[in-house]
Amino acid sequence: MSIEVSNLSKQFNGFRAVKEVSFKIETGELVALLGPSGSGKSTLLRMIAGLELPDTGLIKLTGRETTNVSPKDRGIGFVFQHYALFKHMNVFENIAFGLKIRKIPKKEIKLRVEELLNLIQLTGLEKRYPFQLSGGQRQRVAVARALAPRPEVLLLDEPFGALDAKVREELRKWILLLHEQTQITTLFVTHDQHEALEIAHQIFVMNEGIIEQSGIPIEIFDKPATQFVAEFVGENNFIESEVTGHGIVRWGPLSFKVNGYPLNQKVKIYFRPNDVLVNSRSDIESTKAIISKTKFKGALIELQLLIEPGKRIIAHIPKGVFISSGYSEGSDIYFRITEYHSFLSNKKVIDESIISI
Amino acid sequence: MKKKFNSFFKSKETDNKKISKLSEPLIVRMIIITTSVFFILIFIFVPLLLVFVKAFAKGWEAYINSITEPETFSAIKLTLLTAVIAVPCNMIFGIIASWLIAKFNFHGKSLLTSLIDLPFAVSPVISGLVFVLLFGRNGWFGGWLFNNDIKIIFAVPGIVLATIFVTFPFVARELIPIMQSNGNEEEQAAIVLGAGPLKIFFSITLPNIKWALIYGVIICNARAMGEFGAVSVVSGHIRGETNTIPLQAEILYNEYQMNAAFAVASLLTFLAVITLAIKKFAEIKIRSEIKQSSIITIGENI
């Protein structure tokens, strides 16, 4: 089932949570709504579910207009951040709830619940109560409960937000597997970019009530369309300087070629720490710096490079490279920037050429 | 020397060492505990015991006789009737009001919240007088009521109304905090799964507030049966007709029928003991309900 939203807006006491948002999700897709808290992503999801009514705009599910249809008639399943399991019902009763309401015969309910228990890998725990389950188990029960009445769309609101890192990791893999098995159109809200980049086929990045960019994860990461996306997704070096002659932005010894800006225009330049290539020997394209600080980040090592007083950038290199190269704080290093993006203050992208300096 | 003394002192403690270090010195604790036990004995337990001692002073037969004496028996019936009407009314009102307050935002919400507490703030005698002013012979509706031959003041309806007014806050006050802490995600989940309002109320909302509701109802009932002030104003003290148990106890006492008065009083005391027992049980259940809901919202490892 496809989800189509056009010009959807919602206000809360004068605060415009969602501003004329439009998008279309095709059947079977797995889409992430990514954004910081307060960006309107949950409100948007709740409007699609029918838990909030939009002020203006239309919602179409499988081409059928459902803007004012009651949630139960939309063919959706909804998973809440805090699970919202029925506390006084056991796992079986929780999953069976939506089926009982549809007056499905007991035998069928039993079969369906068993099938779902198998799907969420919790067979044998049907007599447990929510408080006897771990956070991850609860969230899986919540997903099973939402899937029980065979919805055509699954909506998840920060589904792993309340869980710790390890469990999140496992559930991410599980939700991918689940999507492969069920092929249900899925839209989930998250503030965690790793979650969105890892799971989703497509990401909508939301900020202040609008969708800043939509695209496949690699596009979002490599080609941020707006300044916000560049800042929000992934880590970034950020410098601000003015355009000098021939479309060049200078910042200390570095110069960046940008197109289409007037002379003396202030421009912001973003480049990722992993797009800073370092070498212990100088070559024609590289710039010299001193390693002023190193930080252990697990598989990566973060190097703080001091280019000249007051001008620092950050580079990420694999731990193995760091160890074998013998870099240490205070040693000289040479680097070049392989990819960067420039933005005006109006946030729209002007230039994203890949050039060497 | 001091060290030795300390360690000797600690070894006497049954608590672990850390707690004994953090708590007050033994002598202070002993003084506090003795004082509170003494107070509870003198002011709570002994009077309670005396009620029963006095009630049974002339034996079982006299006790039964004083309770089954027609005027007293009618007072018991009236008290039960009042409670049977007033408690369900306040239960329904309490559920609706707390549901509104806990789950919705609307204009006048804080006013409604304060109004619920009004009967707590007003003296019961004033509460009774309000009803006399409204429904009495010279009250606002007095003329109309008289012309239509409806009696409210100095009759059963007035007693019921006054009781409802006085016991109005108990259920709502118990339910509001628990409903607020429950939030409405479970209800929303049920909506998406296709449940209608009645189904949601009876299979989601009500089970989640069950023990708090029982707690509120039992306290409400205790107060409804024991209310003196407001009921005294509106009842008119017509023997065998508009006297409730507390009013009957007072009349008997004023007539120096001590044993009968205490026999009647023992009924209310007995009610209090049962109320406390159920209340205690409900408290334990509520605590585990809250614990469960907080575990669920916090979440932890797989």
Question: What DSSP state is assigned to residue A348?
Answer: B
Tell me the pLDDT band of B152, cut-offs 50, 70 and 90: confident
Cα–Cα nearest to A204, from A6, A15, A21: A21
**Nearest residue of chain A to residue B105 (CA atoms):** A13
Within chain B, all domains assigned CATH 1.10.3720.10 are found at 59-301
Contact A43, A157 (CB under 8 A): no
Question: What DSSP state is assigned to residue A295?
Answer: E
Best probe of the A interface among B181, B185, B192, by most A CBs < 10 A, is B192
pLDDT at site B147: 84
Q: Do B298 and A162 touch (CB under 8 A)?
A: yes
State phi, psi for A158 to the nearest 5 degrees: 45, 55
Share the mean pLDDT of chain B: 84
- How far apart CA A205 and CA A219 sit, in angstroms, is 12
pLDDT at site B19: 55
- How far apart CA A17 and CA A129 sit, in angstroms, is 36
For residue A116, give Cα distances in angstroms to A99, B172, B245. Answer: 12, 40, 59
Q: Do A72 and B204 touch (CB under 8 A)?
A: no
Tell me the pLDDT band of B289, cut-offs 50, 70 and 90: low
Strand partners, A179: none
- Give the contacts of A174 (CB within 8 A, at least 6 positions apart): A121, A140
Contact A130, A85 (CB under 8 A): yes
**Nearest residue of chain A to residue B189 (CA atoms):** A84
Q: Do A131 and B296 touch (CB under 8 A)?
A: yes
Q: Which amino acid is at A20?
A: E
pLDDT at site B295: 52
**pLDDT higher than 60, residue B88:** yes
Of A72, A77, A166, the CB nearest to B191: A72
**A193 by DSSP, 3-state: which?**
helix
pLDDT at site A126: 87
Record the pTM.
0.77
pLDDT at site B237: 82
- How far apart CA B297 and CA B291 sit, in angstroms, is 10
Give the minimum alpha-carbon distance from A200 to chain B in angstroms, rounded to a whole number: 23
> In this predicted complex, what is the ipTM?
0.80
Six token digits for residue B139: 């009250």
Least confident of A9-23, B254-268, B288-302: B288-302
pLDDT at site B162: 93
Q: Return the CATH class of domain B59-301.
A: mainly alpha
Of B199, B208, B302, the CB nearest to A101: B199
Tell me the pLDDT band of B140, cut-offs 50, 70 and 90: confident
Of A72, A82, A139, the CB nearest to B194: A72
- How far apart CA A317 and CA A296 sit, in angstroms, is 10
Cα–Cα nearest to A196, from A225, A226, A224, A176: A176
Number of residues written out for chain A: 357
Q: Per-residue pLDDT averaged across B211-235, rounded?
A: 91
Of B204, B292, B297, the CB nearest to A82: B297
| Interval B7-40: pLDDT, tens | 444 444 444 555 556 778 888 989 999 999 999 9
pLDDT at site B20: 58
**pLDDT higher than 50, residue B49:** yes
- How far apart CA A238 and CA A341 sit, in angstroms, is 10
pLDDT at site B182: 85
Q: Give the CA dihedral A8, A11, A17, A19, nearest 10 degrees.
A: 40
Give the minimum alpha-carbon distance from B208 to chain A in angstroms, rounded to a whole number: 7
Q: Do B191 and A98 touch (CB under 8 A)?
A: no
pLDDT beneath 50, residues of chain A: 347-357
- How far apart CA B150 and CA A173 sit, in angstroms, is 73
- How far apart CA B127 and CA B103 sit, in angstroms, is 30
Q: Do A166 and B297 touch (CB under 8 A)?
A: no
Tell me the pLDDT band of B145, cut-offs 50, 70 and 90: confident
